Amino acid sequence: MVRTGTQSSGALTDHATQHVSRNPGTPLELDWVRRVRVNRSAVERRAATLGTRRSVKKDHQAAWLLKAVTCIDLTTLAGDDTPGRVRRLCAKARQPVRRDVLQALGVAHLDLTVGAVCVYHTMVETAVDALLGSDIPVAAVSAGFPAGLSPLQQRVAEIRASVAAGAAEIDIVITRAHVLTGRWEQLYEEVRTFREACGEAHLKTILATGELGTLRNVYRASLVCMMAGADFIKTSTGMESVNATLPVGLTMARAIREYGERTGVQVGLKPAGGIRTAKDALLWLILMKEELGNAWLEPDLFRFGASSLLGDIERQLEHHVTGRYSAAHRHPAA
């Protein structure tokens, strides 16, 4: 049976709400941005040790995987999305792990849900309706996702329309050219404009790190987005050739830590794209715990952008209970 208190591994199995304050942003500090240096070799060496320095086994591993479930933004961003598919996804968000598995683990009373459901703007109303009565927020990808190259007024209008439709979180994509050409003032003003358009909805800024060229650019873009008021910084759209990697995550976590030390504000991190296995999820949770602390093991400050991750986590949890790996169709995701 999985214990429901604080594990020695640092994970919690209950879906706690921290009520983290919004990031109000700060004035743009160009000197801070320009001073950034990143030692890529050191970052890669540190990232490579995450899976070797800490071992999470048996009940502790099951507890960490349950925690990972609560941090998933269950996502569908396909061109053939239908209302029926979105409603099925929302049903899975309400009951992400089969009840018999939860009962065998001794945690059926926890009312486990995912962190959010993430959809295109056209499916926001459907998702909001399907999640009525739950505390699961709807996140909408916006601002010309995934390229982010439509006219600024159209991107702002899309954000406002998604908020009006009921989205509680907005995932926007930045203009990568601003980063690649060092136009930090333009990036700051762009994100600040998006932040204002969001109103009360939380803003997640997608950096598309696989297209930024260097870890130094990743760190600088992270700082500028946080200064502009981003509540989360997110690695990728999931549609680049390179998506979430641990060196990039470590770089962004260090930026979050430095920003927090200077401003006292906690900003969340959302890796997205390519995170498909329970082992991947554990590595990211270890990264969060070691670099930022237990507060970043909660959905208020950490999310996985994923669609297939949940299925593998369910298989690992059933294996923990029965000692056997089940077929994927026993854990339908949508």
- Cα dist. 237→21, 224, 243, 266, 306 in Å? 25, 19, 8, 23, 11
The answer, yes or no, to whether residue 252 has pLDDT greater than 60, is yes
Structure tokens, 130: 């399907």
- Write the pLDDT tens digit of every residue in 75-132: 999 999 999 999 999 999 999 999 999 999 999 999 999 999 999 999 999 999 999 9
DSSP assignments along 127-159, one per residue: HHHHTTTS-PPEEEEESSTTTT-S-HHHHHHHH
Sketch out the chain's domains with CATH numbers: 30-329 (3.20.20.70)
pLDDT (mean) for 52-59: 82
- State the catalytic residues: 171, 234, 270
**Rounded-to-integer distance, Cα 140 and Cα 123, Å:** 8
Q: With pLDDT > 70 as the criterion, what percentage of the chain qualifies?
A: 93
CA torsion sign, 206 to 208 to 212 to 217?
A: positive
Which pLDDT band, with edges at 50, 70 and 90, does 53 fall under?
confident
The answer, yes or no, to whether residue 156 has pLDDT greater than 90, is yes
